[in-house]
Structure 1
């Protein structure tokens, strides 16, 4: 009679079952930076991003494909602070997924895990496209992003308790690597402290706050409004007075105003990636930070 050691077989079956359970989770991210965070914390899950780095997350159509993805989602992660207010409520309604409804236990917002910069007691139409709950583009603050990661990891464990140990291990692995990267980034970016920029919108507000940079002018006359001729003329004077190192726009913003200002002031125009984009060789959050900081240093 041949005796079979059942322990290795049991371990293999347990591993396969665990991987299958993780793989069955459907995770929906409103923006690619949060899809990338999901992949760090739940690498075996099915992760879908509603937008790309070349799309303005303020303006998205509630397409049937998005409705279908949200309908099947176990967890969703969005920036919050009203960034997606123009399209997410419609998506939630049409998806008809109880977990994804406002207040549902599967609907997560990064802004709920942190203190947002630039919160306001009230806003009016006169202010333009501003958010009372603060600036929603917090993914360029590595410390705040780590807070979000901890909250998301806890939500994953609650959604899939059989694999809570795996999510905790993934968080610990990500946190260790992330903390090491922060130290490297801060040393590398030290020359950027005190530098000034003109930018389109407040897209990199958290980056400036983290690295000690200053936005001295905005290509938008008011948030959400395209640059006008009179406003650009004022920015020419601001550029002469403040001597910014660069004019910054993102991949989904119209560069023409920045190009005009650059041609009049000789301040270089720099198009920075707003999020993870595998098509552009930015495969994860680490690549995103590396690319942005290296791009700024190349100008500085």
Structure 2
């Protein structure tokens, strides 16, 4: 007859229950395509393991499907990206190589920010002659704080869907984020009041949402076509445009080539402003709020 040790049985049951509990409460593993979404995911899920595939010093259009990225995506419960085809050149390859069924569809663990707002500059038709444009609209939406709050709300709902046992924690984090964000927006708008109506020349349409929110106007692009580097003849045309005297500055994102901007600035006496494109784009941009603070300070000081 086999005797069962009651103490060992109770201990084993306790360990098993502990394992079940820890599994149920395991933090989400989040793969963010860009650092602004890594920062947002961390704000909405402080206990999550968050990995950003790119930095603010990288062009998010062009990313190599490195083995390290494949390994991170293979472990992910949730993939958070800008969407609107910003990552079309590399995300599908990562998904295929990672073979993680949890993050293949927006019905499960894939989240596109652009799906949850009305994007700017949508196009009915796109062809190669138009350059690097996006039919689904401009994907650099994180510089409109009103739209970004909608993204935060949708992302929090997705996290709750994937991890319902932690619903209360996600709701608390969203409330805190929303309060901080709604307090910051009027402050930012007051700080940027003098920028309304200002005209700039910028590289690509990276700050399209920022300019739209602030009432600024990008009157010319350093690129002859989106994705095409500045040429000598195109820069010469920009010198002529600048001579109208209504351009405030030349704007370049932290990851973009500054040479064309500085060439133009030297010939027109226009200030060249390097704006952080995302969290980590300069020493001041340590989180989403300080990113906005830095961008607005740099712009207002350039006037």
Q: What TM-score, normalized by structure 2, do the two folds share?
A: 0.91
Distance 1:269 1:19, change over 3 A: farther
In structure 2, how many angstroms separate the alpha carbons of the residues matched to 1:296 and 1:20? 47
In structure 1, how many angstroms separate the alpha carbons of the residues matched to 2:22 and 2:193? 42
Please tell me whether residue 247 in structure 1 is matched to residue 250 in structure 2.
Answer: yes
In structure 2, how many angstroms separate the alpha carbons of the residues matched to 1:242 and 1:154? 48
What CA deviation, in whole Å up to 9, does each residue of 1:134-191 have, x standing for no partner? Answer: 0000000001100000000001111111110110111011101100000100011100
- For the Cα contact (< 8 Å) 1:71–1:96, is it kept in 2? yes
In structure 1, how many angstroms separate the alpha carbons of the residues matched to 2:91 and 2:205? 21
- For the Cα contact (< 8 Å) 1:29–1:76, is it kept in 2? yes
Equivalent residue for 1:195, pick from 195, 198, 206: 198
Q: Secondary structure at the match of 2:220?
A: strand
Equivalent residue for 1:222, pick from 222, 225, 243: 225
State the aligned residue count.
Answer: 284
In structure 2, how many angstroms separate the alpha carbons of the residues matched to 1:242 and 1:36? 39
Match of 1:94 in 2: 97
Which protein shows a greater Rg? 2
- For the Cα contact (< 8 Å) 1:81–1:136, is it kept in 2? yes
Equivalent residue for 2:278, pick from 270, 275, 278: 275
What CA deviation, in whole Å up to 9, does each residue of 1:76-128 have, x standing for no partner? Answer: 10000110011000000011011111445100000011110000001111111
Segment of structure 1 superposing worse, 271-280 or 198-207: 271-280
In structure 2, how many angstroms separate the alpha carbons of the residues matched to 1:280 and 1:90? 32
Match of 1:34 in 2: 37
- Give the Å deviation of 1:240: 1.1
Segment of structure 1 superposing worse, 22-31 or 171-180: 22-31
Distance 1:20 1:105, change over 3 A: closer
In structure 2, how many angstroms separate the alpha carbons of the residues matched to 1:123 and 1:278? 31
Match of 1:120 in 2: 123
Match of 1:132 in 2: 135
- For the Cα contact (< 8 Å) 1:248–1:269, is it kept in 2? yes
Match of 2:7 in 1: none
Distance 1:203 1:279, change over 3 A: closer
- Give the Å deviation of 1:23: 5.5
Match of 1:13 in 2: none
Distance 1:278 1:208, change over 3 A: closer
Structure-to-structure mapping, 1:58-73, within 5 angstroms: 58-73=61-76
- For the Cα contact (< 8 Å) 2:37–2:81, is it kept in 1? yes
Distance 1:284 1:19, change over 3 A: farther
Segment of structure 1 superposing worse, 211-220 or 240-249: 240-249
In structure 1, how many angstroms separate the alpha carbons of the residues matched to 2:250 and 2:24? 47
Please tell me whether residue 170 in structure 1 is matched to residue 154 in structure 2.
Answer: no
- For the Cα contact (< 8 Å) 1:42–1:170, is it kept in 2? yes
Match of 2:50 in 1: 47
- For the Cα contact (< 8 Å) 2:106–2:112, is it kept in 1? no
Match of 1:3 in 2: none
Equivalent residue for 2:156, pick from 153, 159, 162: 153
Q: What TM-score, normalized by structure 1, do the two folds share?
A: 0.92
- Give the Å deviation of 1:20: 8.3
Unmatched tracts of structure 1, length 5 or more: 1-16
- Give the Å deviation of 1:281: 3.6
In structure 1, how many angstroms separate the alpha carbons of the residues matched to 2:178 and 2:252? 30
